Amino acid sequence: MGLKGSRMPEARVLLLGLDGAGKSTVLFKLKYNESCQTVPTIGFNVEMIDAKQNKRKIVLTMWDVGGQKKMRVHWRDFYQDTAGLLFVVDCSDRCRLDEAKRELEHALRNEQLRGLPLVIFANKQDVEGAVTATEITERFILRKTCSDRDWFVQPCSAVSGAGLLDGFIRMVHLVKTSSDDNIKETVKYLRSKSMRSVRK
Ligand code: G3D
């Protein structure tokens, strides 16, 4: 998606996770610093959040796609042009960790997400007995599964906001913006042109 009229470089980030993991709560807390009454996401929520990458201003367009089983088949419709993946895990729900792992692995196997940075929000850390970020790293075998990409597991509580900004900033620094790609394309084009003129 382009930002008509905006000169700021943009990166599109996909917020995925099982239903009830806390995706919408994460998104609204990050955007408005408020908790809100969420309803199951049928379709998607999208918010633009301003950020700073090094010293320049960028915009992250965050897509929160419904996590219910019937919605997961549509996740791939959102993969194109994605620059980073935020995967939210409900760490208080031990029974669904394997399901979350399976869905994450399935998404990561998609060619369109190859090599893209991944930040996992190990959410609901405020709940007693919640699985820790270290346990998520081990249970999800992330060192192996994500050996071909940058990844990070951020413990957080979307309700209190603890850890959210840290995870968000991590993503901001890992994503490539659309203008980075444009610059690379331009450099490639100029190089090929100069090579042609050298050969003449
Ligand atoms: P989803 O968008 O991934 O489907 P939601 O998930 O954001 O709708 O959150 C599902 C439920 O989990 C909500 O509670 C929400 O308040 C709760 N939740 C989200 N993040 C946290 C957290 O960090 N800690 C705790 N304790 N709860 C959280 P309800 O009761 O509205 O279903």
Per-residue pLDDT of 152-173, as tens digits, reads 999 999 999 999 999 999 999 9
Q: What is the spatial distance between Cα 128 and Cα 189, in angstroms, rounded to a whole number?
A: 55
Q: What is the spatial distance between Cα 24 and Cα 13, in angstroms, rounded to a whole number?
A: 14
- Answer whether residue 200 is part of any domain: no
Q: pTM higher than 0.95 for the full model?
A: no
Mean pLDDT of 23-42: 76
Domain residues for the domain of 81 are 10-193
Q: What CATH number is associated with residue 165? A: 3.40.50.300
- Answer whether residue 4 is part of any domain: no
Q: Ligand 1, from 19, 25, 165: best to mutate by most atoms within 8 Å of Cβ? A: 25
Q: Catalytic positions, please?
A: 68
More reliable by pLDDT, 189 or 48 = 48
Q: In 3D, which of 37, 32, 26, 144 has the Cα closest to residue 87?
A: 26
The SS3 call for residue 89 is: strand
Output the CA 115–ligand 1 centroid distance in Å. Answer: 29
pLDDT at 2 over 50: no
- Answer whether residue 65 is part of any domain: yes
Q: What is the pLDDT of residue 40?
A: 58
- Answer whether residue 18 is part of any domain: yes
- Answer whether residue 121 is part of any domain: yes
- Answer whether residue 157 is part of any domain: yes
Output the CA 40–ligand 1 centroid distance in Å. Answer: 10
For the segment 97-113, what is each residue's pLDDT rounded down to a tens digit?
999 999 999 999 999 99
Count of structural domains within the chain: 1
Cβ-proximal residues to 27 (8 Å cutoff; 6+ apart), any chain: 15, 45, 47, 62, 64
- Answer whether residue 199 is part of any domain: no
CA 144 → CA 35, 106, 112, distances in Å?
Answer: 35, 15, 19
- Answer whether residue 198 is part of any domain: no
